[in-house]
Amino acid sequence: MCELLGMSANVPTDICFSFSGLIKRGGETGIHKDGWGIAFYEGKGFRAFHDPVASANSEVAKFIQQYSIKSTQVICHIRKANRGRVCLENTHPFSRELWGQIWSFAHNGQLKGIKKKVLNGYTPIGTTDSEYAFCWILGQLRKKYPVKPKSKVKLRKTVEELFRKVSQHGVFNVLMSDVDHLYTFCNTKLYWLTRQTPFVEAQLLDADLCVDFNQEASPDDVVTVIATEPLTSNEQWTKMETNEFSVFRLGVKTFTQVS
């Protein structure tokens, strides 16, 4: 199984603290040593960093840890390969353009029979079931909406429907992002936490590192962090329900549905 980390914030925020905890699990405090990746949204722009080596030993990860990239949405993934060999093209998050926006996707779980689904316009580069599912989801979105739907509710409902269809194929814990929204689905395990005033000092579980967000954040900042397992020892993480679909925007959970 892999580990996921996501962030949604109302102001461009760096993820160095949470990332510092997560990468330790990529070969040091955890077994997820088969590559890692991180994707940042900066305005309409998008950049991603991938490395097919253990994050705990990755030079790219060390760089990302030190270099503060401020972003309103982040998706990160450390991989324990089960389907698809260890290589760059099988390293999450995957990304594709739809309606002039970059969509990105990271997944934890295995999906049986997903590759029998017919694709529409998006083709996987690697061999993972995860990338295949992502390509199928985007293809279905494009088929239903050749141009971006004006109604955010319609779009959200379609994404939820597609996530629920994919989740019938196995374990599907997922983070998917367009420029504005972080769509999440919890099939077995996903936790979340919102940091806002009054801020506290947070202590990482996987590294001897704490940050006093009173010093780091401004009073109006709202930052939600989503992860496979809690990353800090002294904050109250909420476990998502089984089959919970939730949407985050600007740090706030804007929709949730369990079924």
Positions annotated as catalytic residues are 2
Residue 44 sits in the site that holds a copy of itself (CB under 8 A)? yes
Rule CB under 8 A: say whether 12 interacts with a copy of itself: no
Cβ–Cβ < 8 Å for 257, 245: yes
Q: Is 99 in the site for a copy of itself (CB under 8 A)?
A: yes
Closer residue to a copy of itself, CB minimum distance, 103 or 199: 103
Which of 21, 30, 93, 124 binds a copy of itself (CB under 8 A)? It is 124
Which 3-state string (H, E, C) describes 51-68? ECCCHHHCHHHHHHHHCC
- Site track 49-68 with a copy of itself (rule: CB under 8 A), x = hit: xx-x------xx--x---x-
In contact, 237 and 221? CB cutoff 8 Å: no
Binding of residue 78 to a copy of itself (CB under 8 A)? no
43 lies in the site for a copy of itself, by CB under 8 A? yes
Q: Where are the alpha helices (DSSP H) in the chain?
A: 16-24, 59-66, 129-144, 152-167, 213-216
Structure tokens at 138: 């985007």
Q: Does 149 bind a copy of itself (CB under 8 A)?
A: no
Which of 45, 82, 212, 233: binder of a copy of itself (CB under 8 A)? Answer: 45
- Least distance to a copy of itself, CB of residue 87, Å: 6
Would you count residue 100 as binding a copy of itself (CB under 8 A)? Answer: yes
Please identify which residue in the block is written with the tokens 């599907």: 172
Compute the least distance from the CB of residue 120 to a copy of itself, in Å: 11
Distance CA 33, CA 36 (A): 8
Strand partners, 255: 247
Q: What is the distance between the alpha carbons of residues 219 and 241, in angstroms, rounded to a whole number? A: 30
Q: Is residue 91 close enough to count as binding a copy of itself by CB under 8 A?
A: yes
Three-state DSSP class for residue 218:
coil
Segment interacting with a copy of itself, rule: CB under 8 A, options 122-130, 157-165, 223-231, 238-246: 122-130
Q: Among residues 158, 133, 132, which one has the least CA distance to residue 145?
A: 158
Assess 96 for contact with a copy of itself (CB under 8 A).
Answer: yes
Q: Which is nearer to a copy of itself, 176 or 226 (CB)?
A: 176
Beta carbon of residue 125, minimum distance to a copy of itself (angstroms, whole number): 6
| By the rule CB under 8 A, 19 interacts with a copy of itself | no
Q: What minimum distance in Å lies between the beta carbon of 246 and a copy of itself?
A: 26
Can you tell me the distance from the alpha carbon of 58 to that of 132, in angstroms, rounded to the nearest whole number? 26
Q: How far is CA 86 from CA 83, 92, 173, in A?
A: 9, 11, 20
Convert 137-152 into a string of H (helix), E (strand) and C (coil).
HHHHHHHHCCCCCCCH
Q: Is 6 in the site for a copy of itself (CB under 8 A)?
A: no
Residues that bind a copy of itself (CB under 8 A): 42-50, 52, 59-60, 63, 67, 87-89, 91, 96-97, 99-102, 121-126
